[in-house]
Chains A and B, each alone.
Chain A
Amino acid sequence: MARTFYPLERFAPTPPTFHLLPFRFTRLNGKELLVNEAGEFLFVPPGTVQQLADERVDTDSELYEDLKAKQFVYDDASSPLLDILATKVRTKFDHMCGGTKLHIFVVTLRCEHSCEYCQVSRQTATRGEFDMSTATADRAIEMMMDSPARAVTLEFQGGEPLLAFDLIQYIIPRAKKLARERGKDLDIVVCTNLACVTDDILLYFRDEGVKVSTSLDGPAFLHNKNRPRPGHNSYEKAIEGIERSRAILGVESVAALMTTTAASLDYAPDIVDEYVRRDFHSIFLRPISPYGFAVKTRHRTGYEMSRFLEFYKQGLAHVLKVNRGGYRIAEVYTQILLTKMLTPHSTRYVDMQSPAGEAWSVLVYNYDGDVYASDESRMLAEMRDWTFRLGNVHKDTRHTLFTGDPALQLFQASCNQALAGCSDCAFQSYCAADPVYHYATQGDMYGHRPTSGFCARNMEVITHLFSLIEENDRDTMRIFWSWINGERVIREVDVCA
């Protein structure tokens, strides 16, 4: 009955050689960083990649065990478990499944603010001219519900959508009815500056389960500078609106977003502190969008990407400091990237996907019935460039939207796996293609990575995060994971004027 036990060599024979599985690599902080197709990474000693290419890695070493366990290499001693790798890669593309989830309704372009960085708004227009008609709204609702997604988000944008509150009241019950009939879950968000919000409006939102996303650019002096309105009281209005919204809708239903202007660059800690003071638990340090009217005012609001990155790092350091002090607040962009880097999962954030989220993950129904691939796409249209207009709700179906020339051109440039400068980039699986951004800034959907602000930003941010991860400070990692695990995620909410 006594069975024989065999030595390790019998089960793990040192294989004479090994084979490579796909991975990309870069140098980082004196080491080499390898990243496989599923986004798993490994820091290895310098020279390892060359050794791998030359098949000179010692197959009897701990390094070899690490490389094999993370599926950078395989050998004849065991199965390459390609099915498992495929499952992991598929999981990373999970956001592609199910169809367009975010549907933005631009119910009016009118606004009482006159922000210099605003992409779209019209201050003085008369009612009607820049408002969505009920007939257009009806068609847009149908098109939204034609998406195969089981759960859809309806986001009201403008202009200032509360100036068209009657239309919001028209749309919500109809969207809910159709969602019920089609068996879909429906989330509703209103992006508003809250300046003209009333208790009646908020009570309506409460009863209908509507969430509010607003703008808060920082302390009063900065917010009011960035966001002028008659009375110079945008900040006071925003704070008052936030508090009233929280009182009526509940704290969880009110989110705020900031935009970084040239004036913001010196005040990263002050902006973070303002969010903490206002009891927010997330802050999104966002660069200004190079679209719409922001392009015209670039000399006043714009800045080099390098200046933004300094601002981001300073802001992130301060956010971490605040967290160490016991107040939990997540920086949203960091949270999104960390989720991509440290977890097996994908994220729903539209602006950081490959294939790009435009059209796949988000559609914008403009007040005039035109359908755009993203919020940025319709901002370009406000500059009289209709490249990313996929069609019109009155003329098209979901099928013709997705098979028309504008969509097909967009899709061709939407996979960073196949973009020059991205295809061999170590950070590819964490990053994205952004054809609309590159078209807007470089005149070419495919883009030129060495001069791309998008590339500069993400290379720097991802490198910075890898440095922090490699430092492996216990507190920092705990904070990062609390963000990754957190429920407070600003998901699709993108740009609210």
Chain B
Amino acid sequence: MRLTTTGVARNFDRGIVGVLTTEHLAPEKRVERVLFLAAHEALPDGDLSGYRAILSHDELPDTLGVPYVGRLRESDHLKNGDIVALEGNSGVVRSLYRPYELHHHLFVTERCNSNCLMCSQPPKDRDDVVALTERNLELIRLIEPAPPYLTITGGEPTLLGDNLFTLIAQLKRSMPDTELHVLTNGRTFAWPDYALRFAALAHPKISLGIPLYSDFAGAHDYVVQAKGAFDQTVAGLHQAARNGIRVEIRVVLHKLTIPRLTKLAEYIYRNLAFAEHIALMGLEYTGYTPRNIDALWIDPYDYQNELEEAVEYLAMRTMNVSIYNHQLCVLRPSLWRYARKSISDWKTLYLPECERCSALPACGGLFQWAVKKHSDHIHAIASLPQGTAQIYSSR
């Protein structure tokens, strides 16, 4: 499902965040609302003041005293209750939060101090910190009801400096029961002071998701294209643990990480045994990946031995391990019970042959961008392999 659409913007002097309403509201109820008119729906008569903005498919009169985006292009993805950002005179309408979805994200910056070969969200060198922090603080204020889970992502969130602490403190106040997961490369946590300050926020339900791509420093640094990153990330993981901050380790599986995968598992067990979860994740064909595909691509079908060995290594040691972004038809059945439906709703895709698959309800599917590149071995499973029925029924 799409995240953005555009139209012609008028009357903006800054970006606006608001909650979509498809229903015309009485003036006292318009606070924080953006009126969204469906196609061919006429502009209501009378005074429209009080709305933060108006979205319409039609050309709207310039005399309207309210910021608006007219001649909206696609809008099928916009629903009553969605929280959107109207990015000023560019006319971009960005969906920030959809209450009906399972996975929610707080996107805090496009900046990053790494430049991973397979980054799905390539970083940009522009200072968006203040603007995005302001937008996110407003978003947090508008979210209602509080979701069970929220992922803070970027870019590299710790580059926000104090602004990240401001956001987390605000989340702690306004949705204390929401489980927060911060996707970070962990490098900043290598500074003991930073880890200490982060821990001092004392958010009751926060954890870090930190990627580690090799047990060999040079190989990790190459994947993240940053010299010294391995040292900082490993030190950061330890500083986090020392301060009681929960951590998850995330490994993207591709041609550069597969050869030492079990050795990496061993490294995690011996050096980072405090990790409460290890996610082994399939490659996403988006962002930088297409550009580096020759260096990265290995058909998941061809790394089942390595994956099984690493998963078994960790599971045998009672480490909590999961497989993300893999289709069951490509995974060895012994690995099915570690596979999770990990792909955000709006990014999930199934192929035509999936319709006939008996494992479909249990399968996490593909990333929508995998339509361009996926395993050659995706196929409909005629009947569930022995021993997997229980896994299948438990979902």
Contact = CB atoms under 8 A, between A and B. Distances in A.
A65 B227 contact: no
Given A11-B227, A481-B317, A84 B271 contact: yes
Interface in B112-158: 115, 117, 122-125
Given A6-B225, A481-B316, A69 B215 contact: yes
Contacts of A399: none
B209 to A, nearest CB: 20
B234 interface: yes
A203 interface: no
A134 interface: no
Contacts of A68: 216-217
Contacts of B117: 5
A481 B226 CA distance: 37
B230 interface: yes
Given A10-B227, A344-B273, A477-B316, A65 B235 contact: no
A84 B218 contact: no
A11 B214 CA distance: 13
A200 interface: no
A66 B221 contact: no
Contacts of A10: 222, 227
B270 interface: yes
Contact of B267 (A6, A69, A485): A69
B318 interface: yes
B238 interface: yes
Q: Tell me which of B117, B218, B260 has the highest count of chain A C-beta atoms within 10 A of its own C-beta.
A: B218
Interface string A8-29: 1011110000000000000000
B235 A78 contact: no
Nearest to A6: B225
A6 B225 CA distance: 7
Contacts of B269: 344
Q: Tell me which of A65, A66, A485 has the highest count of chain B C-beta atoms within 10 A of its own C-beta.
A: A65
B115 A84 contact: no
A69 B122 CA distance: 29
Contacts of A343: 317
Nearest to B267: A69
Interface in B287-311: 288, 291-292
A88 B273 CA distance: 10
A81 B226 CA distance: 17
A118 to B, nearest CB: 40
B104 interface: no
Interface string A83-103: 110011000000000000000
B381 interface: no
Given A83-B238, A84-B234, A1 B124 contact: yes
B228 interface: yes
A87 B238 contact: yes
Nearest to A68: B216
B252 to A, nearest CB: 16
A10 B226 CA distance: 9
Nearest to B273: A344
Given A66-B263, A83-B238, A11 B270 contact: no
A78 B231 contact: yes
Given A1-B124, A6-B225, A78 B263 contact: no
Nearest to A78: B217
Given A78-B230, A81-B231, A12 B273 contact: no
Given A12-B217, A65-B216, A78-B217, A5 B235 contact: no
A12 B230 CA distance: 11
Contact of B270 (A78, A344, A478): A344
A94 to B, nearest CB: 12
Contact of A78 (B215, B228, B317): B228
Nearest to B219: A12
Interface string B226-257: 11101100110010000000000000000000
A344 to B, nearest CB: 5
A3 interface: yes
A477 B260 CA distance: 20
25 contacts: A1-B124, A3-B115, A3-B123, A5-B291, A7-B222, A11-B225, A11-B227, A12-B216, A12-B221, A65-B216, A65-B219, A65-B260, A68-B216, A69-B267, A78-B218, A78-B231, A79-B231, A81-B234, A83-B235, A83-B238, A84-B271, A343-B317, A344-B269, A478-B316, A481-B317
